[in-house]
Amino acid sequence: MTAVVIDGRAFAADLRTRIATLAAEFEAKAGRKAGLAVVLVGEDPASQVYVRSKGKSTIEAGMASFEHKLPADTDQATLLALVEQLNADPAVDGILVQLPLPRHIDEQTVIATINPDKDVDGFHVTNAGRLAVGQPGYVPCTPLGCLMLLKDKLGDLAGLDAVVIGRSNIVGKPMAQLLLAESCTVTVAHSKTKDLPDVVRRADIVVAAVGRPEMVKGDWIKPGATVIDVGINRVPAATEGKTRLVGDVDYAGAAEVAGAITPVPGGVGPMTIAVLLRNTLVAAWRNAGLNLPADAI
C-alpha cells in the first residue's frame, strides 16, 4: 500500500475540541448556550441512532440539544407548526429535521419552512443558492467535511482536476460547488456518464458518493491522487450472518495507487456530525450578532 490514510476520526475529534472552546466562548459572550433542535418523526431505527448520537455530541460540545420526537402518523401541518415554533425560538440556533420523513409528509415543503439562517443541514434552496453564488450560508455537512479533509491534506486546491461521482443535492452537487469555489476544474459524474473509469483517471481528487459498494477500482485511480470515499454500504461479512461496512471505492486496490485515501469506516463518516456542530456554532454567533474569530473553525 502506498497511500497515506486520511484519519477522519482524528480530524473530527480535533474539530470538536475547537468547537467546544468556541462554544464556551459563545456562552460567555451571549449569556446562553448555542442550541441545536433535532426533530425526528417516526421510529426508523437508523434515524433513532443518528438523532441520539447528534444529541449526545451537541451536549458534549457544550451546546444545548432540543430533541423533538413525534409519532410516525404525525400530520404535515403539525410538523410545520413545530418548525415554525423552532424558527421563532431564540434559544434555537440550528434546526435539523431528520430525513427520511414518513411518506405522507413532503420533505421539500418541510425543508422550505426552516428559516434558512437556522438551516444547519444546508438543504434549504436559499442555502443551495448562496453556495452557488458564493455568499455566506450553510453548506451540507458531509461535503463540507470532505472539503476540510482535502484542504488539510493538500493545502491549496487551485487548478487541480476533481471528479465528483454522484450528483445528489446533499453530497454530489454541493461537493462540486465547494471544489469549484476552491478553483478546481470540476467534473460531476453520474449514472449516465460514459467511460467513467477514464473520467476518474484524469482526477487529482476523486470524491465518490454513489452508494455502490466498492465500485471505484484501483486501476481507475491516477497514481498519487487523493481519494475521498463518502459511501457507506453494508455488505455480507466473511462470517455468516454478519455484515461489514464498505465504501464506494475498492479500498485495497485504490490504496495501492492513490497518494492519500479515506477509509470506511473512519474517514468521511465521523466528519458529518462534527460539521453539524460547526454549522450550529457558526449559526449561533451569527444569530447573536457576534463576530466569530476569522478561520476559527
Which window, 49-57, 81-89, 148-156, 264-272, contacts ligand NDP (CB under 6 A)?
264-272
* Residue 210 or 221 having the CB closest to ligand NDP: 210
Contacts of the segment 10-13: beta carbons below 8 A, 24+ positions apart: 11/148, 11/149, 11/152, 11/270, 11/271, 12/145, 12/270, 12/271, 12/273, 12/274, 13/270
Active site residue 98: yes
Can you give the length of the chain in residues?
Answer: 297
Contact call for residue 272 and ligand NDP (CB under 6 A): yes
Phi, psi angle pair for 190, to nearest 5°:
-155, -170
Active site residue 153: no
Measure the N-to-C terminal CA separation of the chain; round to a whole number of Å.
32
Beta carbons of 46 and 40 less than 8 angstroms apart: no
Contact call for residue 262 and ligand NDP (CB under 6 A): no
Q: How far is the CB of 130 from ligand NDP (least distance, A)?
A: 20
Active site residue 121: yes
Element (H, E) at 226: strand 226-229
Cα distance between residue 185 and residue 172, in whole Å: 15
The active-site residue, picked from 93, 119, 121, 229, is 121
Contact call for residue 245 and ligand NDP (CB under 6 A): no
What three-state secondary structure class fits 155? coil
Burial class (CB in 10 A: 0-12, 13-18, 19+), 194: exposed
Which window, 30-38, 58-66, 115-123, 224-232, contacts ligand NDP (CB under 6 A)?
224-232
Among positions 105, 149, 196, 200, the unique one binding ligand NDP when judged by CB under 6 A: 196
Among positions 16, 269, 279, 285, the unique one binding ligand NDP when judged by CB under 6 A: 269
* Residue 92 or 210 having the CB closest to ligand NDP: 210
Nearest alpha carbon to residue 183 among 225, 150, 208: 150
* Residue 207 or 260 having the CB closest to ligand NDP: 207
* Residue 95 or 230 having the CB closest to ligand NDP: 230
For 169-204, give the secondary structure using H, E and C: CCCHHHHHHHHHHCCCEEEEECCCCCCHHHHHHCCC
Cα distance between residue 235 and residue 245, in whole Å: 6
Which window, 128-136, 147-155, 162-170, 279-287, contacts ligand NDP (CB under 6 A)?
162-170
Among positions 103, 192, 194, 242, the unique one binding ligand NDP when judged by CB under 6 A: 192
Q: What are the beta bridge partners of residue 278?
A: none
Contact call for residue 8 and ligand NDP (CB under 6 A): no
Q: Which of residues 163-182 bind ligand NDP (CB under 6 A)?
A: 165-168, 170-172
Contact call for residue 212 and ligand NDP (CB under 6 A): yes
Contact call for residue 62 and ligand NDP (CB under 6 A): no
Task: Provide the annotated active-site residues.
Answer: 54, 98, 121
- Which residues are at the interface with ligand NDP (CB under 6 A)? 142, 165-168, 170-172, 189-193, 196, 209-212, 230-233, 268-269, 272
